Structure 1
Amino acid sequence: MTIHREGRTYLTVLLLILAGINAALIYSFPDKVIMHRVSQIVSVIFFLLNLQFFRMPKRKLEISEGQVIAPADGKVVVIEDVMENEYFNEMRKQISIFMSPLNVHNNRAPVNGIVSFCKYHAGKYLVAWHPKASSENERTTMVLKMENGVEVLVRQIAGAMARRIKIYANEGDEYKAGQEYGFIKFGSRVDVFLPLDTKVKVDLNQKTKGGKTVIAELVTED
C-alpha cells in the first residue's frame, strides 16, 4: 500500500502542524502532563485517520468481458432507472456508490474504453446522498466508449465535506478497467450510468471495492 499523491503534501503539513501544537503545549504548560498525553493521543488518532483516507491499496483485477467494476470504495446507495440529461438524453440504469471519509477515495475506470466526453461542472455542496446532488453539486462527467461501441458514463460528485475533485482524464485518453482516473477529497459519491438492459450484480447497501467488485454485466450480442 502506498500514499496517494493528492495526500503527500497535505499529510506532511498536517504532521508539522500537529507537532507544533504539541510542542507549544509542552512549552506553555510544562506541568500539565495529562494534557500533553491527551493531546498526543488525539493528534496520533487524527493523523492516522487522515493517513487511512489517502492510502492506495494494490488490487489485482480479474474480470470477464462485459463486466462493469466499481469505480470507488464505498456503499451502494442508488440502483434505479433514470433520465440522464447531460450526455445520453435518454433513460439509463444508474448505480451510485457513496464514499465515507473512511473509504479510499481514488476513482477508477469501470470498463475498458476511450474517453469520448469529459467535463467539469462547478456547483453546490449538498450532502452526497441528496437526490439532486448528481445534477447540482460540483461534479465531473466522463464517458468511456468501449470497443463494441457501448458507452458508459461515470460521474464524480462532491459532497458537503468534499470540495475538491481531481480528474486526470482528457478526451481521447484510453483507460483500462480499474485504472485510476480521479480523486475526491473527503466524503463524496460516484454515479455510473449504464444501458437499461444491464444486469445489476450488487444490492443496495452492499459495500464495494474500487477496481475489484463487479457491479454489473453488460448485455452483449452473440
Structure 2
Amino acid sequence: MLGDIQDNKGRGEAAWQWPSIHPEGRKFGLIAAVICLVAALFAWETIAWPMAGLTLCILAFFRDPVRVVPQGGGLIIAPADGLVSLIREVEPPRELQVEDGSGSPRLGGAPVTRISIFMSVFDVHINRAPIGGTVRRVVYIPGKFLNADLDKASEENERQHLLIEGADGTVIGFTQIAGLVARRIVPFVKPGDIIAAGQRIGLIRFGSRVDVYLPAGTDAKVILGQKIIAGETILAQLGQQQQLEGSPL
C-alpha cells in the first residue's frame, strides 16, 4: 500500500534507536539541567523538581528521530509531524508568486491546494524537505503570534517561505509559521543549497504550523485530521509512479 515502509531485510528500514537531541535544544537542556543540579545540591526541592521536569520536556521537544524516507517518482513527503488541520484551494503566498530578480522559478497566481499541518508542543519539531532538489527561495516575514491553527495565521503570523525546485522541474512551496507559543523559526538551509527529500531543513520552537502548496494536478494522499510523520508520510503524488524502498535519514 502507498506509504507503507518495507521490512528492514534489505529494504532500507532503519533499526529503532533512541532519538538524538538536536543541537538547537542541547543548550536549553544543559541550562535547565545545571539549575536542577544546583537546586538539588542545596536541597531546594521546590526548584529542583520543576527544573527536572522542565529538562525532560526540553529534551523531548528537541528530539530528532531517524526517519525512513519513501523513495519513488513523484512523491511529496510530509515536511512536519502533526495533524492535517486544513486542506483547501488558495492562491499561493505573494512572496512565492512574484519574480524576485534572481530568475528563480515561482508558483504563479493560479489557485493551488494548500495542506496545513499543525504541530503541538508534543510533536517532533524538526521540519524536513518534501522533495529533493535545489532551494530557490527562503523568505522571512515578521508578523504576529496568533494561534497557529487559525486559518489567518498563514497571512498574519511570523513565517518563513521556502521554494524548492526538483530535478524534474517540479516546484514546491511551503511555509513555516510561528504560533502562540512558538516564537522562533530556525532555518538550516539557504538559497542554492541542494537537498534530498526528507532532509532536515529547519525547526520551529515550541508549537507551530507548516503549510505546503502542491502543484496543480497533484493527488493528495492525506485527509483532514490525519496524524502524519515528517520524512515518512506520503503527503501527495505527482502521477501514479510505483513507490520504491525507503532510505533512512
Q: TM-score, normalised by structure 1?
A: 0.89
The alpha-carbon deviation at position 220 of structure 1 amounts to: 7.6
Decide which of 128, 131, 134 is 1:108's aligned counterpart.
128
More helix by share: 1
Cross-structure match for 2:53:
45
Cross-structure match for 1:151:
171
Q: Distance in 2 between matches of 1:109 and 1:137?
A: 22
What is the letter of the counterpart of residue 219 of structure 2? K
**Is 54-63 or 149-158 further displaced after alignment?**
54-63
What is the letter of the counterpart of residue 56 of structure 1? D
1:6 and 2:24 matched: yes
Aligned CA distance change for structure 1 residues 160 and 103 (closer, same or farther; 3 Å) = same
Identity of aligned residues (%): 40
Unaligned runs of 5+ in 1: 28-35
The alpha-carbon deviation at position 219 of structure 1 amounts to: 3.2
Decide which of 27, 34, 38 is 1:20's aligned counterpart.
38
Partners of 2:137 and 2:162 within 8 A in 1: yes
Residues 143-164 of structure 1, C-alpha deviations (whole Å, 9 max, x = no match): 0011121200011000010111
The alpha-carbon deviation at position 19 of structure 1 amounts to: 2.9
Aligned CA distance change for structure 1 residues 47 and 146 (closer, same or farther; 3 Å) = same
Decide which of 47, 69, 80 is 1:61's aligned counterpart.
69
1:193 and 2:203 matched: no
Partners of 1:97 and 1:190 within 8 A in 2: yes
1:211 and 2:231 matched: yes
The alpha-carbon deviation at position 129 of structure 1 amounts to: 0.8
How many residues in Structure 1 have an aligned counterpart in Structure 2? 211
Q: Distance in 1 between matches of 2:223 and 2:143?
A: 29
State which structure, 1 or 2, has the greater radius of gyration over its C-alpha atoms: 1
What is the letter of the counterpart of residue 36 of structure 2? L
Q: Distance in 2 between matches of 1:137 and 1:20?
A: 38
Q: Distance in 1 between matches of 2:62 and 2:167?
A: 33
Q: Distance in 2 between matches of 1:207 and 1:220?
A: 23
Q: TM-score, normalised by structure 2?
A: 0.79
Decide which of 83, 87, 91 is 1:79's aligned counterpart.
87
TM-align CA RMSD: 1.8
Q: Distance in 1 between matches of 2:36 and 2:217?
A: 52
Cross-structure match for 2:193:
173
